[in-house]
Amino acid sequence: MESEMMTSSTWRKVAYGGMQPGFDDNHTDDSFLEEMVMNANVVKRDILKVMLDSVSISQYLCIVALVGLVWTYTLRSILNENSLLLLDVTLLGLGFLVLLLTKEMLSFNLFMRYLLNISFFISGLYALAPIYQTLTTSIRSNSIWAVTVALLVLHLFLHDYFGSTVRAPGDLHNPTLTSCISLNASVVASVFIASCLRSRLQVFAIMLFSLQVFLFAPLVTYCIKKYSFRLHLWFSFGLMIATLVFVYTLHLLLFVMLLGLLVFITVVCPYWLIRMQEYKFEIKGYELYFIVGVFRCVPFKGLQLGHCYGVIGKCNTILIWELHHDLASVVD
């Protein structure tokens, strides 16, 4: 009689209703895991594409390194205020030239708005230069450099390497909170460096240079990348070579450190990412809705749920309970 009941009834994959006639409470058959899907959302990455994407990180790292070089040469009196002002005008002209060459992304009205905003920005910066000059007169230079390096590291850590804090033409996405924090960190670092200079014109020139780079360099590189990815690669590799040459003239150890960091970011990190993909494992089962009567929950991961009654909604995890003093498990 029992064998006839076993053959006539069909086991159903349910999580409610108690024991099914003819089957044990913890019985499962071959269909229990047939709807389980593995690695459904795992993205397969190509190492060459990852390496090309990492070029944007190396590119901006070189931009920040060039800013540090200009700061160092200015503090050593190798660059005076006239050289800094010439550098500012050159960078500003080149930036607008790049925006104009990518003319499908920039209208004339938007260009004039940028020009007006920059004129207000330069005027306000010149007016605030005396305040920046005396901001850290009571702070030792070692402390200033330590805080500046820490702020630059924070800036690099939080920077948006695939966007721009200044919203690019045609871009519908607003800057993220972390990118704004990154920009503020770079601005404060620039103020600390500018406060070490003696003349008002030097303070104005170095602040203008720093803010031009930190504000508008991501916008220019973003427009270049959107216009032509091949041009973006050529510009990035040329910038890396130029940065390494300038750093080599400053100090050999800094050159070795920068070269090793660029190789690590562009080659080693993409290789690690691809190698780690083979260890990525995702399990996705069917979605389960069930109703449970009175049962006593077994503590799971330190949580004691006590006696429960009612509806337990969508289950997408492992639920373990004790029903009639027998352990049963439902795995989704």
pTM passes above 0.75: no
Looking at residue 157, what is its pLDDT?
92
Residue in this structure with the two tokens 């920068």, named with its chain if needed: 258
Single-letter amino acid, residue 177: L
pLDDT digits (tens, 9 = 90+) for 174-214: 778 888 899 999 999 999 998 888 888 999 999 999 999 99
Q: How far is CA 311 from CA 102, 131, 144, 226, 294, in A?
A: 59, 65, 61, 52, 11
Closest of 89, 73, 62 to residue 205, by C-alpha: 89
What's the pLDDT band for 47 if we cut at 50, 70, 90? confident
Most confident of the following: 2-11, 17-26, 64-73: 64-73
Q: What is the DSSP letter of 330?
A: E
The mean pLDDT of 26-46, rounded to a whole number, is 69
The pLDDT value recorded for residue 247 is 94
Please tell me which residue, 303 or 54, carries the higher pLDDT value. Answer: 54
Amino acid at 290: F
Long-range contacts for 40-43 (Cβ within 8 Å, ≥24 apart)? 40/282, 40/284, 41/282, 41/284, 42/277, 42/280, 42/282
Return the minimum-mean-pLDDT range out of 138-142, 156-160, 246-250, 279-283.
Answer: 279-283
